Each structure stands twice: as structure tokens, then as C-alpha cells.
Amino acid sequence: MKPNILVVGPSGSGKSTSLASLNPKVTAILNTERKQLPFKNAKEFMNVPIKTVSEFHSAMDKALASDKIQVVVIESFTSLIEIIFREADIRYKGFDVWSYYNKEIDRILDKSKNSDKYVVFTAIDGVYDGDNGVEERYVAVDGNRWKKRVEKEFVICLFTDTRTTEEGVQYRFRTNTTGRDSAKSPMGMFENLHIDNKLGNVIQACEEYYN
């Protein structure tokens, strides 16, 4: 099995652009955002627009079974759970809405953990503001069942981090927590707390670490 990967951060913090460093010949992008990818070689990727839950499962199962695909990207978890909730709200009432919603998330995350592919999710973060500003970051999700629990389903959880330099804005991933989120990675996989926001490098680090 390959480690599943979660990339978390606000809009515009480099999540989608990090996909550009992946090998398009072996990568399938399940595009629940149904938006153009923000990098020049986007047309080289297998980019599958997803409108419904059934479309998602069909596309994911096909990608996971493919001999050609090595990396499956869900762009994004945030849009996917919006699709799930929208369908749940149409089909069910009351508690059954949340029952369907929670079970679908569990079903999807379970698939990501039992695969010989690298499964990568991008997600928008939610924040808890306190007296000192942002005190906690976590994957934004509706309801209480999965609040602050999504990250535990992943082996690697990278939070986006940006800083301004003389050359401009530098987009980075943070590989471990600083106490205000659930960023994590296997012990010793990354030498630095911050790395370039290149998912291709993350996949390579996984290959070297586990093989």
C-alpha cells in the first residue's frame, strides 16, 4: 500500500499549482472543482470533471484499477463533500442526511487508504480564531462527525505556508505541526519543516523512504 496524502490550505496558497510537478503520464485528476488547472501543462493530465457522487466513485475505481495510473488526485475534497451534502439533502430528510453524508466520506477515505496508488486530496482549511488570531487550522467540513478528524485518516498531511521574500511570494508545504494544526509526515521523511510546494517531490520522497 502507498501512503495517502492530504494537502490543506486556504484558496490561493498553492495547492492546485503543486500538481504541476507530478508526472502527467501516470496521474489522474478527479476534478470535482470542474475548473481549469492553474498551470501551463494542465492539458497533459488526465483531468476528469466530476458532477455527482456516482461519477466520482466510478472514476476513482477506474483510476485505482488502472495499470497506467500511479497517482490519483482528488481536486478537491472540499468540493467533493459539497457534492455529497447536496445529494444527501435532495434524497433524505433529517438525520438520514447526515448519515449518508458521513458514510460517504468514510467510504471515500477508506478507499484512499487501501490502494497501491498514491491518493492525494486537496482541501480548504477551516480556522479557529482566538484572542491571538488564528489559533487552529483544520480541514473544513460540515457537521460534527468529521470535524478535526479528517487528518487522522492520512499518513501525510501537509499544510500550505506562504512567505514574502525579496523575490516575491514563496509557496511552501509545512511537513509537521507547530501545535496549531494536524500537519504530519513519517518520522525522518523530510529533513526540513518547510519544503517546496511540489507534489512530485513529495511522491519521490515517499518512494525513497519506503523503498
Mean pLDDT by 10 residues, the chain (211 residues): 94 90 96 91 93 97 96 97 97 96 96 93 83 76 92 96 83 92 94 94 96 86
Q: Which helix (H) or strand (E) holds 125?
A: strand 125-130
pLDDT at res. 134: 57
| Bond preceding residue 18 cis, omega within 30 of 0 | no
pLDDT value at residue 153: 96
| pLDDT recorded at residue 14 | 87
CA–CA distance from 121 to each of 92, 135, 198 (Å)? Answer: 27, 24, 14
pTM given for the model: 0.92
C-beta of residue 191 within 8 angstroms of C-beta of residue 211: no
